[in-house]
C-alpha cells in the first residue's frame, strides 16, 4: 500500500494535479495561487483525465461520477470528465485461462466446444470472451474478473477515503458536497461489481420485471456456472451504439431505437423501481428489428416508492414549468431545510430556469437544466442526495445518446411524452399512494408492537412524526367510510 501511495503521488506531480488547489476555493487558496503556474483550463483538465486513467479503475469510476456533478464543476469541466472510459488494455489470455479454469474447476476444453481467445470486451475490472458450451447451438458470453483486481481496488478505496477526509478539511465546499459519501457510494458500487453473483442476480431481476416490454431483451444467465469471479450469459447478437457503420449496415431505425431506449430507462425507474445504473452506449445493443438489449448489469440502483414518487412529480413539475410544485417537492422530501421559504425558492427556480426553457426546444439541454438547478440549490445549502446521483448520471448519458444517435429529435418533448405515457398507462400516482399507505400502516403497526411506555420523552417525540402520518391515513379511511354510509343512507 505504501508503494501504491508513492506511485499516486508520482502521478500527482507528473500531471501537476495540484492545480486544483489553486482553482477551487480552499483554506490555502491564496498560498497556492502564488505558486500556481497558470495554463489553460483545458490543458489542466486533460492532465487530470490522464491522471485518473493512469491511476486505475477506482479513480476512473470516481471521475465518471464527477461527470454528473454540475454543483461542483462547470460545463466544460463536466465534458472532460464525460470522456473517461472504462476500456483498458486487456490481459493476455495465457494469464486469464487459469483463472477461468479455477472458477469452473475444470479445463476449458471439457466445458466448451469453442472458446475464442480474443476478448470481445475489456473493462477495468473484467474481460469478456465469446464461447460455445458443449452440445449447444448458440454462443455465450464468459465474463471473468481480472487477476488480483480485488486487492488493488481495496487498496485504492482506503487511500481514496483518506484523500476524501483531507479534501473535506481543505476545500470549503467539499463537506457540503459530501466527498466522503461519494467515495462510500463508489465503494458500494465496486463491491457489487467485483462479485459476479450479484450481477447475475441483478440480470435475472431486470429480466423478470420487464418481460412485458416486447422491444426489450435481457440475456439469460447460466446460473450453474456463476461464481464470485465468473459469469456466463447468453450472447446477444446486436449492434453497439458505438458502432455507427454497423447501425447503417443493419438499417436500424434510429428514431424508433432511441424512443425504445428512453422508454426502457423510465419504465425501469418509475414502474419497477430498479434500473440499470450504467446506461452508457457500450452497454446497449440494438438488434435488426429495433429491439434493444442491455448487458453488464453490475450496477443496479433501487429506488424506494417514496423516492420514485418524488422524482416523478419533480420531473412532471419541471416539464410543465410548475416551479411552485417543484419547490414544494424539495421541501417535502427534506432535500432543503425548513428554515428557508418555499415561495422564495420557487421564485428563484422560475427566475433562473425560465432562461433555459426560453431556448428553442431542440437547444434545451438536460445538462444545462441540471447545472442551473444545482446553482439554485447551492444557494439554499442543499446537500448531495445519494439516491439521485445515478439518475443524474444516466439522464446526461441518455441525452448524449440522443444527440449522437438521432440529433434531429427533440429530447425534451420525447422525454416528456414517454414519462406522461408511463404515468398514465400504469396509473403511477395511485400506485405510489397505495404503496406508501401500505408501508405506513405496516411500519406504524410494527412501531406500536415495539413501543415501550417507559421510553424517555425524546424517543416518544421521535415516534410522534411517524404516527402522525398513520393517524392522517386512518382519518382518511374513517372519512371515506362515513361518506359511504351517508350515500347508502340517502339511497
Model confidence over 139-155: pLDDT tens digits?
999 999 998 888 889 98
What pLDDT, on the 0 to 100 scale, is given for residue 451? 52
Q: Looking at residues 124-151, what average pLDDT do you find? A: 92
**Highest-scoring range by mean pLDDT, 24-28, 269-273, 334-338:** 269-273
User: From residue 18, how far is each of 31, 51, 68 by CA, in Å?
Assistant: 12, 12, 22
Rounded-to-integer distance, Cα 273 and Cα 308, Å: 7
Tell me which of 86, 156, 195, 278 is the catalytic residue.
278
The chain-wide mean pLDDT, for the chain, equals 81
Rounded-to-integer distance, Cα 50 and Cα 62, Å: 13
For 334-368, the pLDDT digits (tens) are 888 888 999 999 998 888 777 767 666 566 677 77
32 pLDDT above the threshold of 60: no
Q: Looking at residues 130-147, what average pLDDT do you find? A: 93
For 75-102, the pLDDT digits (tens) are 677 777 776 765 567 889 999 999 999 9
What pLDDT, on the 0 to 100 scale, is given for residue 142? 96
What pLDDT, on the 0 to 100 scale, is given for residue 394? 84
Kindly indicate the confidence band of residue 460, based on its pLDDT and cuts at 50, 70 and 90. very low
19 pLDDT above the threshold of 60: yes
Rounded-to-integer distance, Cα 244 and Cα 363, Å: 23
The Cβ of residue 351 has, within 10 Å, a number of other Cβ atoms equal to 11
Kindly indicate the confidence band of residue 447, based on its pLDDT and cuts at 50, 70 and 90. low
| Cell numbers representing residue 276 in the block | 440499470
∠ CA 71-364-306 to the nearest 5 degrees? Answer: 55
**Catalytic residue flag (residue 278):** yes
Closest CA to 400 of 64, 157, 73, 154: 64
Report which of residues 459 and 74 the model is more confident about.
74
| Contact residues for 231 (Cβ-Cβ < 8 A; gap 6+) | 142, 143, 196, 197, 199, 200, 221, 225
Q: Phi and psi (nearest 5°) for 149?
A: -70, -35
Rounded-to-integer distance, Cα 73 and Cα 60, Å: 17
Please write down the HEC assignment for all residues of the chain: CHHHHHHHHHHHHHCCCCHHHHHCCECCHHHHHHHCCCCCHHHHHHHHHHHHHHHCHHHHHHHHHHCCCCCCCCHHHHHHHHCCCCCCCCCCHHHHHHHHHHHHCCCHHHHEEEECCCCCEECCCEEEEEEEECCCCCCEEEEEECCCHHHHHHHHHHHHHHHHHHHHHHECCCCCCCHHHHHHHHHHHHHHHCCHHHHHHHHHHHHHHCCCCCCEECCCECHHHCCCCEEEEECCCCEECCCHHHHHHCCCCHHHHHHHHHHHHHHHHHHHCEEECCCCHHHEEECCCCCEEECCCCCEEECCHHHHHHHHHHHHHHHCCCHHHHHHHHHHCCCCCCCCCHHHHHHHHHHHHHHHHCCCHHHCCHHHHHHHHHHHHHHCCCCCCHHHHHHHHHHHHHHHHHHHHCCCCCHHHHHHHHHHHHHHHCCHHHHHHHHHHHHHHHHHHHHHHHCCCCCCHHHHHHHHHHHHHHHHHHHHHHHHHHHHHHHHHHC
Closest CA to 334 of 285, 388, 298, 281: 388
480 pLDDT above the threshold of 50: yes
The Cβ of residue 392 has, within 10 Å, a number of other Cβ atoms equal to 21
226 pLDDT above the threshold of 90: yes
pTM of the model: 0.78
**Highest-scoring range by mean pLDDT, 30-39, 57-66, 127-136, 328-337:** 127-136
What pLDDT, on the 0 to 100 scale, is given for residue 453? 47
Rounded-to-integer distance, Cα 404 and Cα 241, Å: 9
What pLDDT, on the 0 to 100 scale, is given for residue 177? 65
Say which range, 21-35, 179-193, 418-432, 466-480, has the weakest mean pLDDT. Answer: 21-35
Closest CA to 432 of 303, 321, 322: 303
| Contact residues for 314 (Cβ-Cβ < 8 A; gap 6+) | 326, 329
Kindly indicate the confidence band of residue 379, based on its pLDDT and cuts at 50, 70 and 90. confident
Closest CA to 453 of 444, 445, 468, 463: 463
**Highest-scoring range by mean pLDDT, 158-167, 173-182, 257-266, 357-366:** 257-266
Closest CA to 186 of 390, 12, 398: 390
479 pLDDT above the threshold of 80: no
What pLDDT, on the 0 to 100 scale, is given for residue 401? 85
Amino acid at each position: 500500500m505504501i508503494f501504491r501511495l508513492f506511485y499516486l503521488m508520482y502521478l500527482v506531480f507528473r500531471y501537476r494535479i495540484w492545480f486544483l488547489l489553486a482553482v477551487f476555493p480552499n483554506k490555502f487558496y491564496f498560498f497556492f495561487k502564488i505558486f500556481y503556474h497558470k495554463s489553460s483550463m483545458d490543458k489542466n483538465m486533460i492532465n487530470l483525465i490522464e491522471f485518473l486513467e493512469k491511476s486505475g479503475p477506482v479513480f476512473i469510476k470516481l471521475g465518471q461520477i464527477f461527470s454528473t456533478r454540475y454543483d461542483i464543476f462547470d460545463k466544460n469541466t463536466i465534458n472532460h470528465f464525460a470522456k473517461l472510459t472504462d476500456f483498458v488494455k486487456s490481459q493476455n489470455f495465457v494469464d486469464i485461462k487459469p483463472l477461468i479454469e479455477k472458477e469452473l474447476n475444470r479445463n476449458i476444453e471439457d466445458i466448451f466446444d469453442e472458446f475464442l481467445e480474443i476478448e470481445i470486451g475489456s473493462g477495468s475490472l473484467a474481460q469478456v470472451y465469446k464461447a460455445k458450451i458443449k452440445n449447444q447451438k448458440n454462443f455465450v458470453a464468459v465474463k471473468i474478473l481480472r487477476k488480483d483486481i480485488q486487492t488493488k481496488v481495496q487498496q485504492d478505496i482506503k487511500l481514496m477515503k483518506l484523500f476524501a477526509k483531507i479534501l473535506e478539511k481543505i476545500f470549503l465546499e467539499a463537506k457540503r458536497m459530501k466527498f466522503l459519501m461519494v467515495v462510500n457510494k463508489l465503494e458500494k458500487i465496486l463491491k457489487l461489481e467485483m462479485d459476479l453473483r450479484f450481477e447475475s442476480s441483478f440480470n435475472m431481476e431486470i429480466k423478470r420485471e420487464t418481460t412485458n416490454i416486447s422491444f426489450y431483451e435481457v440475456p439469460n444467465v447460466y446460473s450453474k456456472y456463476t461464481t464470485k469471479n465468473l459469469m456466463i450469459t447468453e450472447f446477444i447478437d446486436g449492434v453497439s451504439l458505438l458502432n455507427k457503420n454497423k447501425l447503417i449496415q443493419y438499417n436500424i431505425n434510429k428514431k424508433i431505437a432511441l424512443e425504445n431506449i428512453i422508454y426502457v430507462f423510465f419504465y425501469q425507474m418509475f414502474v419497477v423501481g430498479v434500473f440499470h445504473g450504467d446506461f452508457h452506449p457500450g452497454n446497449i445493443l440494438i438488434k435488426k428489428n429495433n429491439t434493444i438489449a442491455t448487458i453488464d448489469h453490475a450496477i443496479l440502483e433501487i429506488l424506494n416508492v417514496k423516492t420514485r414518487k418524488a422524482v416523478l412529480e419533480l420531473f412532471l413539475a419541471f416539464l410543465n414549468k410548475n416551479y411552485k410544485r417543484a419547490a414544494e417537492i424539495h421541501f417535502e422530501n427534506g432535500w432543503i431545510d425548513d428554515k428557508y421559504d418555499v415561495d422564495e425558492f420557487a421564485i428563484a427556480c422560475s427566475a433562473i430556469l425560465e432562461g433555459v426553457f426560453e431556448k428553442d426546444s431542440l437547444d434545451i439541454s438536460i445538462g444545462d437544466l441540471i447545472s442551473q438547478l444545482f446553482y439554485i440549490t447551492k444557494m439554499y445549502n442543499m446537500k448531495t442526495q445519494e439516491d439521485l446521483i445515478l439518475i443524474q448520471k444516466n439522464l446526461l448519458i441518455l441525452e448524449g445518446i440522443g444527440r449522437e444517435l438521432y440529433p434531429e429529435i427533440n429530447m425534451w418533448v420525447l422525454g416528456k411524452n414517454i414519462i406522461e405515457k408511463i404515468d398514465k398507462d400504469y396509473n403511477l400516482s395511485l400506485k405510489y399512494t397505495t404503496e406508501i399507505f401500505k408501508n405506513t400502516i405496516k411500519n406504524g403497526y410494527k412501531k406500536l408492537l415495539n413501543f415501550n411506555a417507559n421510553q424517555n420523552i425524546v424517543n416518544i417525540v421521535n415516534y410522534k412524526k411517524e404516527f402522525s402520518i398513520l393517524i392522517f391515513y386512518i382519518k382518511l379511511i374513517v372519512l371515506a367510510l362515513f361518506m359511504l354510509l351517508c350515500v347508502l343512507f340517502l339511497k
